[in-house]
Amino acid sequence: GENVEQHPSTLSVQEGDSAVIKCTYSDSASNYFPWYKQELGKRPQLIIDIRSNVGEKKDQRIAVTLNKTAKHFSLHITETQPEDSAVYFCAASIYGGSQGNLIFGKGTKLSVKP
Amino acid sequence: EAGVTQFPSHSVIEKGQTVTLRCDPISGHDNLYWYRRVMGKEIKFLLHFVKESKQDESGMPNNRFLAERTGGTYSTLKVQPAELEDSGVYFCASSLQRGATDTQYFGPGTRLTVL
């Protein structure tokens, strides 16, 4: 089955710096890769996702890149702000298939220091 | 629109007792998923309903866990009898029909502590 590895487990940056979180997946059939942000005590919220027919997607300060050949995808946050502090989870699944469950990485705790 | 809701938000029980968790998905969402995060590890899939039918229950740990989705609306997850290793945060998520969009919207979770 699918396995998703996520690195680093913790990341500390200064406000204004960039943050990068990387994930690898094992199942070449996976074609949908969402990223969730979970603030302390709150629900995981989708912040961006990408499907395997594109290599990059941006939304303001957030971008995700996908390398299908290498089976890895990354989350990039530019100009980090204290409110970006949270746990970020990457995930993989098969879009449009009969099995819709997400396979998650172990999460990255991002701390943005003012 | 109202998001996914879960009840209770916290539950503390003793080993051997029974607990029932409830999830109300977003109205109109056919797909309902249960996930669990144990002790700061990854969020792990438990099972998937399409309307009232179990589409995939390959993630259920053992037969002490029973999930139902009567009438294809809300879902319950019962743990009987609870063991110490069942402690964790149980999340429910819902999504629209397959093929339309795969965005899964998560509930706030139920934190289960088994003593």
Confidence of residue B27 (pLDDT cuts 50, 70, 90): very high
The pLDDT value given to residue B101:
60
The pLDDT of B53-73, averaged and rounded, is 93
Q: Which of A33, A36, A102 is best to mutate for the B interface (most B CBs within 10 A)?
A: A102
The pLDDT value given to residue A67:
95
CB B103 to CB A106 under 8 A?
no
* B residues 77-106 closer than 8 Å to A (CB): 91, 95, 98-99, 102-106
Confidence of residue B98 (pLDDT cuts 50, 70, 90): low
Q: What is the pLDDT of residues B67-97, one digit of tens each?
A: 999 888 999 999 999 999 999 999 999 998 7
Task: Give, in order, the Cα–Cα distances in Å from B105 to each of A77, B16, B42.
Answer: 22, 32, 17
Average pLDDT, chain B: 92
Write out the E strands in A27-71: 32-38, 45-51, 56-59, 62-67
**Contacts with A96 (C-beta within 8 Å, 6 or more apart), sequence order:** B98, B99, B102
**pLDDT over 70 at B1, yes or no:** no
Using CA atoms, how far apart are residues B94 and B49, in angstroms rounded to an integer? 9
Which stretches of chain A score pLDDT less than 70? 96-99
Q: Which of A25, A48, A101, A108 is best to mutate for the B interface (most B CBs within 10 A)?
A: A101
**pLDDT over 80 at B99, yes or no:** no
Selecting from A42, A96, A107 the residue whose C-beta is nearest the C-beta of B98 gives A96
In this structure, are residues A91 and A4 in contact, taking their beta carbons and an 8 Å threshold?
yes
Task: Give, in order, the Cα–Cα distances in Å from B30 to each of A32, B70, B74, B104.
Answer: 19, 12, 11, 11
The pLDDT value given to residue B96:
86
What the block records as the tokens of A33 is 């890769």
CB B43 to CB A104 under 8 A?
yes
In this structure, are residues B94 and B4 in contact, taking their beta carbons and an 8 Å threshold?
yes
The pLDDT value given to residue B41:
86
- Do the strands A86-92 and A108-113 form a parallel or antiparallel pair, or are they unpaired? antiparallel
Q: CA B77 from chain center: how many Å?
A: 6
- Do the strands A108-113 and A56-59 form a parallel or antiparallel pair, or are they unpaired? unpaired
